[in-house]
Structure 1
Amino acid sequence: MNEQYELTILMPCLNEAETLAVCIGKARKYLEESGVNGEILIADNGSTDGSQQIAEDNGARVVNVPEKGYGAALIGGCNGALGKYVIMGDADDSYDFLHLGPFVEKLREGYDLVMGNRFKGGIEPGAMPPLHRYLGNPVLSFIARLFFPCKIGDYHCGLRGYNRESILKLGLVTTGMEYASEMVVKSTLNHLKIAEVPTTLKKDGRSHAPHLRSWSDGWRHLKFLLMHSPNWLFMYPGLILFFLGLVLTVILSLGNIRIGSVGLGVHTLMYSAAAMMVGFNLVMFSLFVRSYASVTGFIPTESKLDRWLEDISTEKGVVIGLLLFLAGIIITIIAFCIWGNTGFGGLSPENMMRITIPAMLLIVVGIEVIFGSFFIGILHIRHK
């Protein structure tokens, strides 16, 4: 679709008859006073209260988006926008459509995504529930900054501007409230230029309950962040468990240890071996996800680990797995010989477990490496 305007002011709408005309009026006043060549676009998500007619009567253009969801409405609106830049904001009269200048200035400077920050601009009393203001938003924003190298302070601000072409190239797909996180995460992963400007938030003008569902939508945001960060979901916890288990397994295989008044023996050895196996499985899950991502492109794959995965072959993985498996078999044979020297009679369980547990560990990990290598090879198969 050819660009006909510099700016599209996009509002998702689901039964916003009470506030829609006010929001359109403020957006139109901004366009008139600023001289920006723009349009006002309403992405209607199936309103039944006459919102579509209200929008048209107030000079806005309406695109109907049949697929339900906040993200679906915004994706449909972005596809239908005629502006080079898009500024999106809710149609509940909580965001300030009169002062969009800072967003436009940053977009003109070449930024691909310009986020509003309500905590810097000011939040009117009662505009944001305490659960969102002091727990949900700060926690999810902190996790997002931890997982992804982005300094955005307010990850979930609904007032934001973007270069339409740049955002369309990201191929955003989430249809719910997690769309807000997807836009920032994928912009960060794809190295788009991101800026943040202060904005205000006031209590919305609707009499009905908001569409946001605190716990379910919060979980969808968190789930999205985790599923797009295999390092934090799988790799880092896996490495911690594996190396902690490895240290304890090596030490306890040589004998009991005492830390203060606490004695650690073969029972701890068994749990340390379990920690190693769980940790190893988590690391393998991380490699599976990255292999899948390298083919599907659902997250960019540019790290040294990703390049190493591209270079390593199924054959190399099978050889490594076989060596680990054979090492476990050899230790098992040694244990069998020790048993045979006693005439296959009774043995000290504590002494034998120091041999058999590491042997079992090597056998299990070796088998997992062999079949995991085949699975990674399958994930790398490219097909039309």
Structure 2
Amino acid sequence: MTELTILMPCLNEAETLETCIVKANDYLKRSGVDGEVLIADNGSTDGSQDIAKGLGARVIDVPVKGYGAALGAGIKAAKGRFVIMGDSDDSYDFSNLDPFVKELRDGADLVMGNRFKGGIEKDAMPPLHRYLGNPVLSAVGRIFYHTPVGDFHCGLRGFSREAILGLHLNTPGMEFASEMVIRATLFDLDIREVPTTLKPDGRSRPPHLRSWRDGWLHLKLLLTFAPYWLFYYPGLVMFWVGLVSFLALMLGPVVVGGITFDVATMILAGALLLTGFQMVCFYVLSRIFAVRFNLLPTSRRFERLRSKITVDNACILGGILLLIAMIATLSGVFSWGATGFGDLDAREIVRPTTLAVVCASLGVQSITTGFLASMLQQEIRPNPK
């Protein structure tokens, strides 16, 4: 088996493709690494395929559009045990891949380049990307996933082909780069980082990257694979703040620093409580789904939680909450009846009414979440022919 595939996605890169392939071929010749240069062409119409073939590179056609689609197809088609991927715009130095090969031979599953450590030449990266986009998204990635990577979006990276294929990456666009790092981290692959350089690309046309659109795609992906941060943590905060506030205001007005909080605040606290509870339920359901389909790894703590989320337990909890709601409703009706079903002081009727609405909503959410969680955990059987 070939040791190394140098993979380049390509879409109308005739201006720079030759330079990149020549550098890659020179590296393979100089280093003595048994390798190939593979071009994953995404529908070029400028003769890029002929340029690549003329220089001895192998070319595969990728009809599905997108950076991720091209790279995914290229990884599957690669003959190398290791793959080093990089853009074919001559912004990365394919003549100096020794640090990547060294780490891969040492057992690394994914070796990320770090442009901030290796050096970014003048005009090589727009200020928006250099000082905002990349640092912010990389910081979010480190906070959410504890990823040991300082440059989340470096396009020059090497990896074990077998390890990355095992992650079943499937995003077709620019967010493929983030998906690779996220899933490699979640599944405990050996990730390392080496300095690399970035220089201005050699193209006369604008890059395919669209700053705000692709930045949003990367951020969405970071949140999608982090149900803790998307649902659980904010939901838990809202739930407890709402619950404590709601219970305190159920007993009567609360004065803090000369400001009186009463039934209006209690209604808002009830809304916060319901929203937080729903977000925690979303966390449980999304985590069950993600673990079921191998999108996220499981854990002993989550398995303990999942074992307690049964239809029976959900119905017991929901039944208790619905019973409280019914009692609160009857209390409000009796209070109204005591006045001959005439006018009531809003502050008196709002408390039991709000309690009834909140408990009824929580009860229904509990029961439906239990049934849906059970449905997501049912055994999947093949359809009979």
TM-score, structure 2 normalization: 0.96
Cα drift, residue 318 of structure 1? 1.1
* SS at 2:46 equivalent: coil
Matched ranges for 1:143-292 at <5 A: 143-292=140-289
Match of 2:83 in 1: 86
CA RMSD of aligned residues (A): 1.2
User: How big is the shift at 1:358?
Assistant: 1.7
2:63 maps to amino acid: P
**Structure 1 counterpart of 2:93, which letter?**
D
Deviations along 1:109-133, one digit per CA (max 9) or x if unpaired, are: 1010000000000000100001111
Matches within 5 A, 1:14-29: 14-29=11-26
Which residue matches 1:9?
6
Counterpart in 1 of 2:345?
348
For 1:115 and 1:60, the matched residues in 2 are separated by 24
**Corresponding position: 1:317 with 2:319:** no
Query: How far 1:287 sits from its partner (Å)?
Result: 1.2
Q: Distance in 2 between matches of 1:334 and 1:350?
A: 14
Picking from 307, 327, 332, the partner of 2:329 is 332
Are 2:43 and 1:53 aligned?
no
Q: Matches of 1:12 and 1:353 in 2, distance apart?
A: 63
State the secondary structure of the residue aligned to 2:347: helix
Consecutive unaligned residues of structure 1, counting only runs of 5 or more, are none
How many Å separate the matches in 2 of 1:261 and 1:56? 79
Letter in 1 for 2:132: L
Q: Would you say 1:372 and 2:339 are equivalent positions?
A: no
Tell me the CA shift for residue 28 of structure 1.
Answer: 1.1
> 1:160: how far off?
0.1
TM-score scaled by structure 1?
0.97
The one-letter code matched in structure 2 to 1:133 is R
Post-superposition Cα deviations, 1:15-47, rounded to whole Å, max 9, x if no partner, equal 100011100111111111111111111111111
Residue 311 of structure 1: how far off its partner (Å): 4.6
Separation of aligned partners in 1, 2:291 and 2:187: 14
Please say if residues 290 and 306 of structure 1, whose CA atoms lie closer than 8 Å, have aligned partners that are also in contact.
no
In 1: Cα distance, 2:59 partner to 2:291 partner? 38
> Structure 1 runs of 4+ off > 3 angstroms?
none
Secondary structure at 2:155's aligned position in 1?
coil
The amino acid across from 1:125 in the alignment is K
Aligned ranges 1:9-158 → 2 under 5 Å? 9-158=6-155
Q: Secondary structure at the match of 2:43?
A: coil
Instruction: Tell me the distance in 2 between the aligned counterparts of 1:320 and 1:89.
Output: 54
How many pairs align? 381
1:206-250 Cα deviation digits (max 9, x unpaired): 001101011111111111111111111111111111111111111
| SS of equivalent to 1:245 | helix
The letter of the residue matching 1:341 is A
Superimposed CA distance per residue, residues 242-262 of structure 1 (whole angstroms, 9 cap, x where no aligned partner): 111111111111121222242
Map of 1:382 onto structure 2: 379
User: Secondary structure of 1:309's partner?
Assistant: helix
Displacement after TM superposition at 1:334 (Å): 2.3
- Kept in 2: contact 1:294–1:380 (CA 8 A): no
- Three-state SS of the structure 2 residue aligned to 1:42 is strand
Q: Deviations over 1:75-128 (max 9, x none)?
A: 111011010000000000000111111101110110100000000000001000
Q: Which residue of 1 aligns with 2:293?
A: 296
| Offset, 1:347 | 2.3
Partner Cα distance (1:19, 1:222) in 2: 30
Deviations 1:333-376 (A, max 9, x none): 22222333333333221122222212221111001111121111
Structure 1 residue 52: deviation in Å? 0.6
